[in-house]
Amino acid sequence: MLNILIVGNGQCGNRILDAINREAFGKKSRLAKFYSQQKYKSNVQTIAINTAVNDLKEMKFTKAKDRIHIPHLHGVGANRNVGKHVFEDNKTHIMRQIEERGNFDVCFVITSASGGTGSSFTPMLVKELKEKYDFPVYAVVVLPFREEGTLYLQNAAFCLRDIRESGADGIILADNQFLKQMGGNVESAYNGINDMVARRLLFLLDALDSEMMMVTDLGDFKTVMSGGAGLATIGFYEADTDMPVRSAIQKALSPSGLLFSSDVYKEASRAMVIIRGDKERLSIDEISTEVEKLSSSVGHVFKGIIVRDGELPQVLAVLTLESASELENLYSIAVDAIKYERDKKERVATVKDVDRAFSQIDGMDPSY
Ligand code: GDP
C-alpha cells in the first residue's frame, strides 16, 4: 500500500483537491466530509493551504482538519513577493502539519502558476519537502487563460521557473487556455477542468497501487517523470460502448485527450500508458500495436493493464515532454507582460502628475 500526500495550494489548488476528495468519497452528499470513508486503496492524506479563508470555506469534500489557513488579511493579491514572505513566516507551522501525517512514498502539490498564494508557496514548499524527505515530489501546475492579464502571465513565467529550480521531481502541466473549449462560463469551465485533473490523478493513484495483469508501479512512474525536460502532461479517454480499445488509446494521446497542448509523437520523451476495463474489451494485440506506435517515436513506453469486470475501457497516459512549443508561446507573451509592468512602474515613478495635481491644494482647507 502506498502512502500518498496531496497538497492543494491557493484557490485553484484547493478546488482541484476538493474535486479529488469528492471523487474519492464517491460523490455523496455535501456532508460526506463529516462521516464517510474515502475510497482510496492507498493511504492518501490531503492538505489544502491558503491565505484566503473564504477559499478554504468553499471546500465541500475536504475535512476541516485538512484545511490550513495561513492568516494574511485577505490573501496575497497575486503578489508573489508578499506570498514568499508569508510562506517563510509560516514555514514551521506548515511543515509541522505535514510531518504529523506520517511518512509518504510520493507527494503531489497542486497549484495555479499565476495567482499569488499557490504560485509563491508551491516552489518554497517543494524545496522544504525535498530538503527534509526522500520521497519524490511532483507539482501539478495549472496555467492561466492567456487573456487574464499581465500580472498573471508574469507570475506564471516566474512560478514555473521557481518550481523547476525547487528540486521538484517533475511538473505536470494543465492549461486553462487549452482546456477552455469545455465551454460554458468561467465557473463551469473551472469545474470541468478541475474534474479532469482530479479524475486523472485518481486513476494514476489507483494504477500505481494496483494488482494488474501487466504491472506498472511507482518506480516506473518515477522513471517516466525523470525523462524529458522535467515537464509532463496527462492524457485520458473513456471509450463508449462500441469503441475498440485501440481508438480509446489514440484519443487519450490526441490533443483533445491531453491537459496541455502537445503533439506527443513529436514532443514526448517517455510515457506510461495504463489501460483499465473489462477483460473482454481489452484486446492485447490492439494495445500492443498502439503502444509500439508510440514507443517508436518517443522511446520508452511503460504499459499497464488493470482488469475490472464490467468496466468500459479507460486509458490514462502520462507523458514527459522534451520540448513544449506551447510553453515557448506562453513565455514569449509573458515577456511582453513583464516588460509592460516594468515600464508602467517606471512611468509611475517618474511622472508625478497626480502628486502635482494634489500639491495644488497644499496648505488649503475646504470652506463651507
Ligand atoms: P491564489 O489563491 O492566490 O493561489 O490564486 P488562484 O489559485 O486563484 O490563481 C489564479 C489563477 O488560477 C488564474 O489563472 C485562474 O484562472 C486560475 N484558477 C482559479 N481557480 C481555478 C479553478 O478552480 N480551476 C482552474 N482550472 N483554474 C483556476
291 found inside a domain:
yes
24 and 57 co-located in one domain: yes
SS (H, E, C) the chain: CCEEEEEEEHHHHHHHHHHHHHHHHCCCCCCHHHHCCCCCCCEEEEEEEECCHHHHHCCCCCCHHHEEECCCCCCCCCCHHHHHHHHHHHHHHHHHHHHCCCCCCEEEEEEECCCCHHHHHHHHHHHHHHHHCCCCEEEEEEECCHHHCHHHHHHHHHHHHHHHHCCCCEEEEEEHHHHHHHCCCHHHHHHHHHHHHHHHHHHHHHHHCCCCCECCCHHHHHHHHCCCCCEEEEEEEECCCCCCHHHHHHHHHCHHHECCCCCHHHHEEEEEEEEEECHHHCCHHHHHHHHHHHHHHHCCEEEEEEECCCCCCEEEEEEEECCCHHHHHHHHHHHHHHHHHHHHHHHHHHCCHHHHHHHCCCCCCCCC
Q: Which residue's CA lies nearest to atom 12 of ligand 1?
A: 112
Which ligand 1 atom is at minimum distance from the Cα of 118?
4
186 and 121 co-located in one domain: yes
Ligand 1 contact via 121 beta carbon (within 6 Å):
no
Cα 172 to averaged position of ligand 1 atoms, centre (Å): 16
309 found inside a domain:
yes
The reported pLDDT for the residue numbered 36 is: 52
Residues in the chain with pLDDT < 50?
29, 31-35
Rounded to the nearest 5 degrees, what angle is found at the Cα of 261, between the Cα atoms of 255 and 264? Answer: 65
127 found inside a domain:
yes
β-pair partners for 320: 232, 270
* Residue 215 vs residues 3, 247, 249, 283: alpha-carbon distances, Å: 18, 22, 18, 17
Ligand 1 contact via 276 beta carbon (within 6 Å):
no
**Phi and psi (nearest 5°) for 157?**
-60, -45
Q: What CATH number is associated with residue 143?
A: 3.40.50.1440
Cα 119 to averaged position of ligand 1 atoms, centre (Å): 10
187's grid cell: 465557473
Annotated binding-site residue? 148? yes
29 found inside a domain:
yes
173 and 238 co-located in one domain: no
Q: Ligand 1, from 7, 9, 11: best to mutate by most atoms within 8 Å of Cβ?
A: 11
Quote the number of domains for the chain: 2
214 found inside a domain:
no
Give the C-alpha separation, 47 to 8, whole Å: 6
The reported pLDDT for the residue numbered 212 is: 66
15 and 88 co-located in one domain: yes
User: Taking a C-beta distance cutoff of 8 angstroms, is the pair 11, 113 a contact?
Assistant: no
Query: Is ipTM strictly over 0.90?
Result: yes
Annotated binding-site residue? 9? no
Domain encompassing residue 274? 224-321
Give the C-alpha separation, 334 to 219, whole Å: 35
The reported pLDDT for the residue numbered 362 is: 92
193 and 228 co-located in one domain: no
105 and 168 co-located in one domain: yes
261 and 304 co-located in one domain: yes
170 found inside a domain:
yes
In the listed set 321, 340, 358, which residue is the last one of a domain according to the structure? 321
Cα 50 to averaged position of ligand 1 atoms, centre (Å): 12
The reported pLDDT for the residue numbered 31 is: 47
In the listed set 164, 183, 209, which residue is the last one of a domain according to the structure? 209
The reported pLDDT for the residue numbered 33 is: 47
111 and 10 co-located in one domain: yes
343 found inside a domain:
no
User: Taking a C-beta distance cutoff of 8 angstroms, is the pair 18, 64 a contact?
Assistant: no
Q: What CATH number is associated with residue 269?
A: 3.30.1330.20
In the listed set 209, 243, 278, which residue is the last one of a domain according to the structure? 209
Annotated binding-site residue? 97? no
288 and 257 co-located in one domain: yes
CA atoms within 13 A on the CB side of 330: 29
Ligand 1 contact via 117 beta carbon (within 6 Å):
yes
**Phi and psi (nearest 5°) for 208?**
-75, -20
76 and 132 co-located in one domain: yes
Give the C-alpha separation, 193 to 191, whole Å: 5
145 and 75 co-located in one domain: yes
Annotated binding-site residue? 3? no
334 found inside a domain:
no
Cα 11 to averaged position of ligand 1 atoms, centre (Å): 6
Grid-cell match 511518512, residue found: 103
Cα 176 to averaged position of ligand 1 atoms, centre (Å): 9
Ligand 1 contact via 193 beta carbon (within 6 Å):
yes
Ligand 1 contact via 22 beta carbon (within 6 Å):
no
Cα 115 to averaged position of ligand 1 atoms, centre (Å): 6
205 and 230 co-located in one domain: no
Q: Which residue's CA lies nearest to atom 6 of ligand 1?
A: 115
